[in-house]
A = this chain, B = another copy of it.
Amino acid sequence: MEGSHEHQHARPDTTRKDDHLRRLRRIEGQLRGLQRMVSEDVYCIDVLTQVSAATKALQSFSLDLLEEHMAGCVVEAARTGDDEAQAKVREAADAIARLVKS
């Protein structure tokens, strides 16, 4: 299934895709761990420490995915033409802004 964009985009190779899925599953596991901590009334500061760890893992996943996108789609668009290049750069810049502000 394509992204919400109807254009073709470079499909990540299977190894990278497996790595992405493994990382997301691990963060999902951290969320379940947080629920156990809250259920068992674990001290707030310890819960906050685990939340920061999950947030960092999400952040690092985003940074890697963003680099992959720039190395693939943005470079490809740059070679296609100026309009495509500027549109892709604009789109990546918005994603970076969301990442910085989240």
Bound together, the chains give a CA A85 to CA B54 distance in angstroms of 29
User: Are B35 and A1 in touch, CB under 8 angstroms?
Assistant: no
The A interface, classified by DSSP as helix, strand, loop or mixed, is helix
Interface string of A45-70 (1 = CB under 8 A from B): 11111011111101101110111111
Bound together, the chains give a CA A35 to CA B18 distance in angstroms of 10
Interface string of A27-55 (1 = CB under 8 A from B): 11001101100111111111111011111
- Would you mind naming 13 contact pairs between A and B with Cβ atoms under 8 Å apart? A3-B43, A5-B45, A17-B39, A24-B31, A48-B62, A52-B95, A55-B102, A58-B58, A59-B101, A63-B97, A78-B79, A96-B96, A100-B100
Instruction: Indicate the size class of the contact surface on chain A.
Output: 35 or more
Copies of this chain in the oligomer: 4
User: Are B99 and A100 in touch, CB under 8 angstroms?
Assistant: yes
Select one of B31, B67, B74 contacting A27, CB under 8 A: B31
User: Are B67 and A39 in touch, CB under 8 angstroms?
Assistant: no
Bound together, the chains give a CA A44 to CA B65 distance in angstroms of 7
